[in-house]
Amino acid sequence: MYPIAVLASGRGSNLEALIQAQKAGELKGEIALVISDNPRARALEKAARYGIPHQVIEPAAFPDRETFDEALIACIQQHRIQLIVLAGYMRLLSPRVIRAFPRKIINIHPSLLPAFPGLNAQEQAWRYGVKYSGCTVHFVDEGMDTGPIIAQRVVPVLPGDTPADLADRILQEEHRLYPQVVRWLAEGRISLEGRKVIIKGE
């Protein structure tokens, strides 16, 4: 078993894609835990529907960031998690959390990093006038969307696109790419040489 924790703050569409890949036997790991910082996140409803253990760890419930971090780390460690998957988790992880799980945290971002990091990446790309955008899965480090890049998918930006059109097209690729990367990690096919990610068999 390769236990995975998914951290999500919102609707959980990437969580749903991971769950469906697991049900199809394509993930090669098990989603053992879903954590949200938002008690109203639809991702929690999806976890409950599929019988996945889930927990709310809400910053407002703690006196400071340090105790919030302690609770998050303890919860993950108690479930013996091997991989932490950020799926629309709208809170930057602190250096303390990242150092507790070195090279065990991945994120998906809706642009071709290093272009357009941060929030509203799809609109950033659309306003800039690029002809192609896409999504990036990367290891999480202490910067914002700066960790080593594992894989990317490219989508065209069409002449009549709105930011919402582009976001929808990118999201479709996210749902294909994220389960694939999780599978590679579960199979032990990914290694790092400096910032370069090596994928065996690709």
Taking each helix axis as running N to C, give the angle between helix 163-186 and helix 121-128, from 0 to 180 degrees, rounded to the nearest 10: 130
Q: Report, as an integer, the average pLDDT of 173-179.
A: 98
Residue-level pLDDT at 202: 74
129-153 pLDDT, tens digit per residue, is: 999 999 999 999 999 999 999 999 9
Q: What is the pLDDT of residue 11?
A: 95
79 is annotated as an active-site residue:
no
Percent of the chain with pLDDT over 70: 100
Instruction: For the chain, give the percent of residues with pLDDT over 90.
Output: 99
Instruction: Go through the domains of the chain in sequence order and give each one's CATH number.
Output: 1-102 (3.40.50.170), 108-202 (3.40.50.170)
pTM: 0.96
Kindly report, residue by residue over 181-197, the tens digit of the pLDDT.
999 999 999 999 999 99
- Which candidate in 79, 109, 138, 175 is catalytic? 109
pLDDT at residue 1 is higher than 90: no
Q: Give which of 104, 108, 2, 3 is closest to 53, Cα–Cα.
A: 3
CA distances in angstroms from 129 to 111, 115, 116, 126, listed in the order given: 13, 12, 12, 5
pLDDT at 59 over 80: yes
pLDDT tens per residue across span 19-55: 999 999 999 999 999 999 999 999 999 999 999 999 9
